[in-house]
Amino acid sequence: MTYGRRPLAHRARKPRVERFSSSPFSRSGFDEQADYAPPTRPSRIGQVAGVVGNLLLGSLLLGSTATAAGLVGLAISFRNLPDVHQLRDYVPIATTHIVDIRGEPIASLHGEANREVISLEQVSPEMKKALLAIEDSHFYTHPGINPVSLGRAILGSVGGGIGSAGGGSTLTMQLVKNLFLRPERTLSRKVAEIVLAVRLEQVFSKDEILEMYLNQVYWGHNLYGIQAAARSYFNKDAAELNLAEAAMLAGILPAPETLSPFRNPEGAKRRQHLVLDRLVELNWITPAEAQVAREQKLTLGRITSFQSNAPAVTDAIEAELQRRYGEQALMQGGLRVQSTIDLRLQRLAQRIVNEDGPRIGAARRADQMALAAVDPRTGYVKAIVGGINAQRGQFNRATQAFRQTGSTFKPYVYYAALASGRYSPGSILEDTPVTYPGSPPYSPKNYDNTFYGPLTFARALELSRNVPTVKLADDVGIRNVIAAAQATGITAEMSPNLATALGSASISPLEMAASYAVFANGGYRVEPTLLAQVVDRNGQILFEARPQPERVLDPWAVAVLNQILKGVVTQGTGTAARLDDGRPVAGKTGTTSDFRDAWFIGYVPQLSTAIWIGNDNNSPMLPGTAGGAFVAPTWKRFMTEALQGIPPQDFPSPYQFPPPRP
C-alpha cells in the first residue's frame, strides 16, 4: 500500500543480448541511413593479433626496431590487463535524489561525482547523433579502434617521442581509459587502451558501450553522465535535449570546465557550431536544420551540486538516511527517496517563521523560532523549520534543540488523572498555597503569583494554573505522569519530581508535535517518520512507511482531554490561536521560568504543529513574553493556510467511550 503516493521504483533494465548492432542508427534514433556498412566481426584472437600486427608493421615501416620490440613485450603482458567482464557488475557512482510526498524535488545529494545513471533509450536521438558525429562517427562499424585515426596517432608518437602519444581514440577507447587506465600520455598506455577496447567490444554490444560511455563521461562542474549534465546545463532530462543543446554538450566535452557555457558562452557556442558543421558534413542533418539550431536561443539551468529546496529539512532527511544506509550509499548509491515532507507546507512554514520570527524577536528580545508539523493519522512529518532563515548545515532547532516545555507538559498530568478513573472535567481542584517537604522545600507558584481557590478540573487546565497541576501530579503520582508522556513517544529524560509536572524536562519541537499528534489521533500513536519510501538504483524498495496505529492511551481520557484543550483555545490562555472558520482546534500554551522559552502546540485531527521561540544562549526574553500572546498568533497564521481545502473535523465525543474504573 502506498497511501496515495506514486511508487518511486523504476522499471528494471532489460538484459541486452545482441553482440553487435546491424546498423549504426537502428537503436540510436537516427534515420536508417549510412554511407558505410558494418564490417564482419573478426574473432577475438584475430582482432588482437591484427591490432598488434598492424602496430608492429607500422612501426617497422617507420624504421623503429626498438619500438617494435617494445610492442612485442607489451603483447606478452596483455594478460595482466584488467578483465573487462567485471563491467557486467560495475555500478557507477550516482546521485541520491530526494522528493516530497507529491514527487516535487527537495534535494540532490552526492559526493564528488554528481551522476544519475539512465538507459540509452532515455537519451534523445539528437544527443546520440551529436556525440558520435564529433567524437566517433564510425562507432557502429569499427571493432573498437579506428585504424585510420590510430595510424595518425602512432605516426605522431614515433615522430614526437613516446610521451607525445595520444589522439585516435574511439568512444570505446575513451571508455576503457576512463574506467581502467591512468591518464598518462605514453605509447604503452595507448596500446593497453587499444587491447582493452577490442576486448570490450567482444563482451558488450555497441549500444551497451554507448550507454556506459554516456553515463561515465565528465561534463564539468562535478557532473558525470549525460543526465546530470542535461539537468544542470538546461534544466531538462537527457531525453528532452534538442539539436542545439545536444550539439553544445557534445562540443564542450574535450574541455568541459574551460568551455562550460556558464563560464565561457562564446567558446561553447563556437564548439556547438563545429558539431553542427560535422553533422552536416556526415549528412546526418540538413544545412537548414543546422542553421535553425545555430540561431536557437538557449536557456541555461543552474549547477545542481547539493541543491536543496528545503535546507533545514534536507539536513534532517540526510541524517536519517545516513543512519539507515551509511554515507557511501547516501552519497554514491543513487537512492530515490520519497520524503513525507509536503513542500507546500514546508515553504509556508519557512515563510511564516522568516516573517514572524524577526518581528517577534525585535519586540521581545528573542533571536530564534522553530516549527514542526506532523500528520497524526500517518506519523508523516509534513514540515520542519529549524530557525529563522535556516540554511544547510546549521543547527536545527526543530530537531536538535531540547528546551524546557513549560505548561505544554501539563496535558500529560491531566490525562494521567483522567485515566486513573478518579477525576472528571467537573472535579474540583484547589488553587491554594502548598509546600512540599524536601531540601529545599518546594512551594509551587502560579504565573501571576495569585491563587484562585477552588477551580474545576477543566478550568484549571484552561487557565494553565500551576499549583492545581502540581497537586494533581502529586495525587496521581509523577511516575504515572511520566509514563503517560512516554507512551506518546517522549524519549527525553524526565526526573520523577513534581517540578516535571510544570515542564522542567527539555524536549524538541518535533518530538512535542509528534506527541500531541497522539491526542489528535484519539490515543493512537503512529511512529513519526521523515521517509515515505526509499528505492535503490535498481528499483528495489529498501524501505516503505506503513503506518500502523497503536492504541497507547485510554480513549475516554483522551476524548475528555481534547474537549478541555479545545477550551484552552476558545476560553483559556490560547484564544489567539482560534481559527476564523470556527474549525475545532485543541492546544496548549507554554512559558518557562524567566521567559526563556515560549510555546504553542495545537492540533486538529489532520495536523499537529508545535512552535517555539527563545534565544540560543537560553537568556531570558522580555518579561511577559508568553506563548499565548506571542506564539499562538503565528500558529494561527500557519494553520489557517495549511488547512485550506481540508474540511473541518471534530474530535470524538467522550460519550462514545466508557470511562475507566478507579
Residues with a catalytic annotation lie at 135, 407
Q: Which three cell numbers stand for residue 284?
A: 546526418
- Helix or strand run (H / E) with residue 598: strand 597-604
- Helix or strand run (H / E) with residue 93: none
Q: How far apart are CA 173 and CA 167, in angstroms?
A: 10
Q: Which three cell numbers stand for residue 483?
A: 509514563
DSSP-based three-state secondary structure for 569: helix
Question: What does each C-alpha distance from 403 to 255, 350, 397, 489 come to in angstroms?
Answer: 53, 21, 9, 16
Q: How far apart are CA 83 and CA 64, in angstroms?
A: 31
Residue 167 has a CB neighbour count (10 Å cut-off) of: 14
Backbone φ, ψ for residue 499 (5° rounding)? -60, -25
Contacts of 362 (CB under 8 A, 6+ apart): none
Q: How far apart are CA 413 and CA 568, in angstroms?
A: 15
Q: How far apart are CA 247 and CA 128, in angstroms?
A: 10
Query: Burial letters for 93-130: b for 16+ Cβ neighbours within 10 Å, e otherwise?
Result: bbbbbbbbbeeebbbbbbeebbbbbbbbebbbbbbbbb
Q: How far apart are CA 185 and CA 160, in angstroms?
A: 12
Q: How far apart are CA 203 and CA 315, in angstroms?
A: 43
Q: What is the DSSP letter of 112?
A: S
Within 375-426, strands assigned E span 381-385, 403-404
Q: How far apart are CA 458 and CA 477, in angstroms?
A: 19
- Answer for the pair 298, 252: CB distance below 8 angstroms, yes or no: no
Q: How far apart are CA 402 and CA 505, in angstroms?
A: 9
- Answer for the pair 621, 596: CB distance below 8 angstroms, yes or no: yes
Q: How far apart are CA 595 and CA 360, in angstroms?
A: 14
Q: How far apart are CA 497 and CA 489, in angstroms?
A: 20
Contacts of 288 (CB under 8 A, 6+ apart): none
- Helix or strand run (H / E) with residue 486: helix 478-487
